[in-house]
Homo-oligomer: A and B are copies of this chain.
């Protein structure tokens, strides 16, 4: 960084490159700074429940080492096998158990950062503080444009003694969303709350089991001939959807079916039992049909697979993408319908609601579409995003809950920031006057050297 500052060339911090918004894609000449060898675990503090590690460590390696010692960080993005701690922090990642353990920015207690000048600074590591603004939160989420994170102290937790699953089905998303909201409102902290809309509920049943080895061993449920036949059927539906996405996109508007809500609880046996009981009462009150433990266990065993199953679609000449936005509970359901309506002109779209909080949740859309040729596909892809994030900006929802901004979402971010854009640009100029840190990302000025 000192050399880059002296000679003035761009530096793009790089972990495992699993990001989906082009955050590590150079836009000009420069150096990609691979941090993968900064992968040490420096300390696991048994008393304070913290782990200190380098940014290059792969999520799964960090979690496995913590598990071995009886802990968990609670961060389980579906990219866990091919993404790093530094990448999580840079782009404000969320894992599948964020309802209990928070997002990565909630987990970070202290960070070490290399500035554009090459100087190394550290934020103080305390459970909470009132010592001026929270400086760690200025670097976290800046995707390498304000500094490069070279070490982090993260909060960890005892590996849960108890893990419970339970699922309910609902007629339509409304009652299910109300149940999610009320569960969070009751002070329950489920490890995961995932609600699949009608289409996502049909499709998730078709996922193959156990294609990636799971670190936690559960007995696999027997695969009866009837279930196997159902899987075949669902795979057939998937294939049709994938080949004619725009038509199915419009047709899907009229599908009325069941929605699956999957709940997971982690903690001491006494606490998880109380949480499960409270949640069951709420779901029943909202007309949920008890679906038992099995759908939850099935989700658990397949929870990382989705990220590795998309290539099939690409081989067929189509494209898939995911759009993860977030808003407060008063707007969630309307936003879901508005985005679906706006996008279904251009693509097949389905969604699940995950990452629930007391005050709102994330809506995670999956889209499939295609173009007559590559140019047309790119145009359609842009039309999908404009439609989806246009609805978000109109509603006052955030354009990204946990995938970050990178190169692709810069224009949407600046629209979300509005008047804060000026503050953002001034801060960038103050901290990186030569614009050498990952230029052109997050809507910031591109390299002009």
- Measured between beta carbons, the chain B residues less than 8 angstroms from A47 are 181, 328-330
- Measured between beta carbons, the chain B residues less than 8 angstroms from A140 are 133-134
Query: Is residue A373 within 8 Å, beta carbon to beta carbon, of the partner chain?
Result: no
A281 to chain B, nearest CB (A): 9
Pick 20 A–B contacts, CB within 8 A, sort by A.
A45-B330, A47-B181, A49-B185, A50-B359, A103-B128, A103-B130, A109-B328, A119-B422, A122-B419, A128-B357, A128-B402, A129-B401, A132-B424, A133-B146, A134-B134, A134-B141, A157-B187, A270-B277, A271-B274, A427-B431
Query: Is residue A242 within 8 Å, beta carbon to beta carbon, of the partner chain?
Result: no
Contact check, A142 vs B135: say whether CB atoms are below 8 A apart.
no
**How far is A404 from B396 in the complex, measured between Cα atoms in Å?**
32
- Measured between beta carbons, the chain B residues less than 8 angstroms from A361 are 127
Given contacts A128-B401, A133-B138, A133-B141, 10 further A-B contacts (CB under 8 A): A94-B130, A103-B128, A103-B130, A119-B422, A126-B398, A127-B358, A127-B360, A130-B141, A132-B413, A135-B417
Given the known A-B contacts A119-B422, A274-B270, are A50 and B130 also in contact in the complex, defined by CB atoms under 8 Å? Answer: no
Query: Is residue A291 within 8 Å, beta carbon to beta carbon, of the partner chain?
Result: no
Contact check, B132 vs A359: say whether CB atoms are below 8 A apart.
no
The A338-387 residues at the B interface (CB cut-off 8 A) are 355, 357-362
Binary CB contact string for chain A from 112 to 134 against chain B (1 if under 8 A, 0 otherwise): 00010001111111111111111
**How far is A347 from B430 in the complex, measured between Cα atoms in Å?**
44
Binary CB contact string for chain A from 393 to 411 against chain B (1 if under 8 A, 0 otherwise): 0001111111111000000
Query: Is residue A275 within 8 Å, beta carbon to beta carbon, of the partner chain?
Result: yes
Select which of B121, B186, B328, B360 is within 8 A of A420 by beta carbon: B121
Contact check, B328 vs A92: say whether CB atoms are below 8 A apart.
no
Query: Is residue A268 within 8 Å, beta carbon to beta carbon, of the partner chain?
Result: yes
**How far is A427 from B137 in the complex, measured between Cα atoms in Å?**
14
The A145-169 residues at the B interface (CB cut-off 8 A) are 146, 155, 157-158
**How far is A278 from B267 in the complex, measured between Cα atoms in Å?**
12
Query: Is residue A423 within 8 Å, beta carbon to beta carbon, of the partner chain?
Result: yes
Contact check, B128 vs A418: say whether CB atoms are below 8 A apart.
no
Given the known A-B contacts A128-B103, A360-B48, are A135 and B423 also in contact in the complex, defined by CB atoms under 8 Å? Answer: yes
Query: Is residue A170 within 8 Å, beta carbon to beta carbon, of the partner chain?
Result: no
Query: Is residue A203 within 8 Å, beta carbon to beta carbon, of the partner chain?
Result: no
Contact check, B397 vs A271: say whether CB atoms are below 8 A apart.
no
Query: Is residue A139 within 8 Å, beta carbon to beta carbon, of the partner chain?
Result: yes
Binding site for B on A (CB under 8 A): 45, 47-50, 91-94, 98, 103, 105, 109, 115, 119-135, 137-143, 146, 155, 157-158, 181, 185-189, 267-268, 270-271, 273-275, 277-278, 326-331, 355, 357-362, 396-405, 413, 416-420, 422-424, 426-427, 429-431, 442
- Measured between beta carbons, the chain B residues less than 8 angstroms from A131 are 141, 398-400, 405, 413, 416-417
A228 to chain B, nearest CB (A): 39
**How far is A45 from B329 in the complex, measured between Cα atoms in Å?**
10
Contact check, A137 vs B127: say whether CB atoms are below 8 A apart.
no
* Chain B residue with the shortest CB-CB distance to A158: B185
Select which of B45, B275, B326, B423 is within 8 A of A126 by beta carbon: B326
- Measured between beta carbons, the chain B residues less than 8 angstroms from A403 are 130
- Measured between beta carbons, the chain B residues less than 8 angstroms from A186 are 158, 267-268, 271
- Measured between beta carbons, the chain B residues less than 8 angstroms from A181 are 47
**How far is A221 from B361 in the complex, measured between Cα atoms in Å?**
45
Contact check, B420 vs A48: say whether CB atoms are below 8 A apart.
no
Contact check, A359 vs B49: say whether CB atoms are below 8 A apart.
yes
Select which of B92, B122, B133, B187 is within 8 A of A139 by beta carbon: B133
Among A91, A132, A267, the one with the most B-chain Cβ atoms within 10 Å of its Cβ is A132
Contact check, B419 vs A120: say whether CB atoms are below 8 A apart.
yes
- Measured between beta carbons, the chain B residues less than 8 angstroms from A329 are 47-49
Closest 7 CB pairs between A and B?
A: A127-B360, A430-B430, A48-B328, A92-B130, A121-B419, A129-B398, A274-B274
